[in-house]
A and B are shown apart, each in its own frame.
Chain A
Amino acid sequence: MLLENKFYRIIKEEKTESDSSVYELELLPECDVYRGHFPGKPVSPGVCEIETVKELAMRVVGHRLFITTVNQCRFRAVASPLVCPKVKVLLEVAPVSEGSYKVIASMADAEIVYMEFKGEMKECIV
């Protein structure tokens, strides 16, 4: 995993319905990414939030995944370990065909939705 225990740490993992899970995450302020994004002004890169969704989806399906399509991903508010040290990711991973999944996710805390993701991922042939 590119970002697990670097950009985020999983605090709690819960499967709710057949295709849905909830993850409680801690955003890690010591992540190297904040040295450059931006110097003296840590902002979580939106693309790291996308990668986080992918890595959580990989846990759900138990297989490496490749993002083939991002239908839409909205960044509604700027996230950072200072603004939102703990967040919840709601994740829905639905199989659409052999080895391919539709993934819907959001990242939020009690007050704010930071990110909403809709995309398609497929299993990597390694």
Chain B
Amino acid sequence: MLYRGEEIERLIPQRAPIMMVDAFIDAKGEVAQTGLEVLASNFFCEDGCLTEPGIIEHIAQSASAFAGYKALCQDLPVPIGYIGEVKKCHIYRLPKVGDNLKTTITMGAEVNRVTILTGVTRVGEETVADTSMKIFIEE
């Protein structure tokens, strides 16, 4: 575990109530693992489940945390990134309060400050969502 809880604030610019990553577990090359425990107080929870926008935001912030981690490793400021595009996103089920999300981010090519990545979110062995995404990094 590299960063957890409030330490994640060092990696991403988002703050409460929409911090959607609570663990930055590992990073090797272009692949990183993140986590989030679904709490009932989460902004995106409704009727005991984490809703679709919450899952997508979790994946986007996982990528943002990875970009932040890479920046910190080079002594650079943590960038602000926006979602440019969500593509081929499948949501198989909504995670429940108490579930622990584990997400694998694989960074792809970067062109003109736009990075293509894929994210897969699992609860235990079960894949709950996967997507491709473009993130636009602000200068």
Q: Are B18 and A67 in contact (CB under 8 A)?
A: no
A2 to B55, CA, bound (A): 14
Q: Which A-chain residue is minimally distant from B57 (CB atoms)? A: A47
Cβ-based interface call for A39 (8 A): yes
Q: Are A2 and B51 in contact (CB under 8 A)?
A: yes
Q: Are A72 and B14 in contact (CB under 8 A)?
A: no
Within 8 Å by CB of B91, from A43, A45, A66, A73, lies: A66
A66 and B18 in contact, given A47-B83, A73-B85 (Cβ under 8 angstroms): no
A94 to B34, CA, bound (A): 37
Q: Which residues of A from 24 to 48 have beta carbons under 8 Å from B?
A: 32-33, 35-39, 43, 45-48
A68 to B88, CA, bound (A): 10
Within 8 Å by CB of A67, from B14, B17, B57, B91, lies: B91
Residues on the A chain within 8 Å of B87, using CB: 70-73
A52 to B91, CA, bound (A): 17
Among B16, B54, B89, residue most surrounded by chain A Cβ atoms (within 10 Å):
B89
Bitwise interface map of B from 84 to 105 toward A, beta carbon under 8 Å scored 1, else 0: 1111111100100000000000
Q: Smallest distance from the beta carbon of B20 to chain A beta carbons, Å? A: 9
Q: Are B84 and A2 in contact (CB under 8 A)?
A: no
Q: Are B18 and A74 in contact (CB under 8 A)?
A: no
Count residues on chain B whose CB falls below 8 Å from chain A CBs: 30
Q: Are A54 and B82 in contact (CB under 8 A)?
A: no
Q: Are B51 and A78 in contact (CB under 8 A)?
A: no
Q: Smallest distance from the beta carbon of A6 to chain B beta carbons, Å? A: 10
Q: Are B52 and A54 in contact (CB under 8 A)?
A: yes
Q: Are A46 and B83 in contact (CB under 8 A)?
A: yes
Q: Are A50 and B52 in contact (CB under 8 A)?
A: yes
Q: Which residues of A from 44 to 92 have beta carbons under 8 Å from B?
A: 45-48, 50-51, 54, 66-75, 78
A70 to B134, CA, bound (A): 14
Cβ-based interface call for B120 (8 A): no
Q: Are A70 and B86 in contact (CB under 8 A)?
A: yes
Q: Which A-chain residue is minimally distant from B45 (CB atoms)? A: A2
21 contacts between A and B (CB under 8 A): A2-B46, A2-B51, A33-B43, A37-B14, A38-B15, A39-B13, A39-B15, A45-B53, A46-B82, A47-B56, A50-B52, A51-B51, A51-B52, A66-B52, A68-B90, A69-B89, A72-B88, A73-B89, A74-B84, A75-B85, A78-B82
Contacts from B to A (Cβ < 8 Å): 13-19, 43-44, 46, 51-54, 56-57, 60, 80, 82-91, 94, 131
